[in-house]
Amino acid sequence: MPEDRRIGAYILAGDPVWLASTLRQYYSLLDDLVVAVPDDARGWSGAPIPVDDVRRIVREVDTRGIAREIRGSWVDADEPIRADTAQRQAALDAVGDGVDWVLQIDNDEFLPDLEALSRALDEAQRLGLHAVEWPMRVLYRRTRSAVYEVVGRSREPRYDYPGPIAIRPGARLIDARRAVGPFLRAAVSGDVSSLQLSRPAADGETRWYGLRHEDAIVHNSWARRPADIRRKIRTWGHARGWRDAVYYTLVWLPVPVTWRAARDIHPFARGLWPRLQRRSPQGPERER
């Protein structure tokens, strides 16, 4: 990163499974780090979450002592995504305007190449854009011997764009970490099959085909042990009660047997995850 560029970040205290690996990857960039800690140790749906595990990991990684906590309660049992958005907004506001960009990389997202991020921030800054979205490879299921990754209908690489991973201070968030204002959508060169790229550009969207497949974030959201997945679906921003339990039992759990036949497997967004590919874990996919 340029020496005169100041970078902040925030972490939501609740999901410790991959945090040690993901935070260490980008920690060296940071000038400020805010940890949003629920006072009641409750997630967005009201279910308990392991807040202290997240705080412990942050203390272990934060060798420069830059992390600071904010506290509050962010629960909305009827619409958990509203509580998700409110916690993120509180964390983003707490970072303040003493930095040029704020990273909002979730605890289970591994960013392989910091130099690629620096190039994208340069481009966004040059164009006067407010946020940077990043392609994410979805690892859907993991066993001791295999990883099952979301791919396209013809088994081509497939990427998700759940929202910006870098944003300007003072931004207004909507629908979790999505933001109001013009943004750069960094894309893998040649990718035309990912759902968001198969559509016309959205209002305020500028596409920048400057990445390799290896630069995409490795998203471990569903690549967890069964016990971790059961906790996730009770507490995440899209919690749907008994329907999540049915999805876990009938779709996610049997994937090591059913992956060849599995189609359109996203829990609520049709067309987003067409099918799966089985392969051996490698590189950052081995991190835990």
Q: Which pTM does this prediction carry?
A: 0.93
Q: Is residue 2 part of a domain?
A: no
pLDDT digits (tens, 9 = 90+) for 175-201: 999 999 999 999 999 998 899 999 999
How far from chain centre, in Å, is Cα 78? 23
Section 241-257 average pLDDT: 93
* pLDDT at 287 exceeding the cut of 80: no
Share of the chain above pLDDT 70, in %: 97
Range of the domain at 247: 7-286
Can you give the CATH number for the domain in which 45 is found? 3.90.550
* CA distance linking residue 157 with residue 144, whole number of Å: 23
Q: How many domains does the chain have?
A: 1
Average pLDDT over residues 64-76: 97
Is residue 197 one of the residues assigned to a domain? yes
**What is the structure's pLDDT at 233?**
84
Q: Is residue 1 part of a domain?
A: no
Which strands form 7-12's sheet, in the order they lie side by side?
A: 67-72, 32-38, 7-12, 101-103, 164-167, 131-133, 183-188, 205-211
Distance of CA 177 to the CA centre of its chain: 9
Say if 103 falls within a structural domain.
Answer: yes
Would the pLDDT of 288 be above 70? Answer: no
Instruction: Quote the pLDDT of residue 221.
Output: 84
- Asked if the structure places residue 116 within a domain, the reply is yes
Is 204 part of any domain?
yes
CA distance 249 to 245: 6
Task: Give, to the nearest 10 degrees, the angle between helix 51-61 and helix 19-26.
Answer: 40
Which of the residue ranges 38-42, 54-58, 220-224 would you say has the lowest mean pLDDT? 220-224
In a domain, 163, yes or no: yes
Q: pLDDT tens, 34-48?
A: 999 999 999 999 999
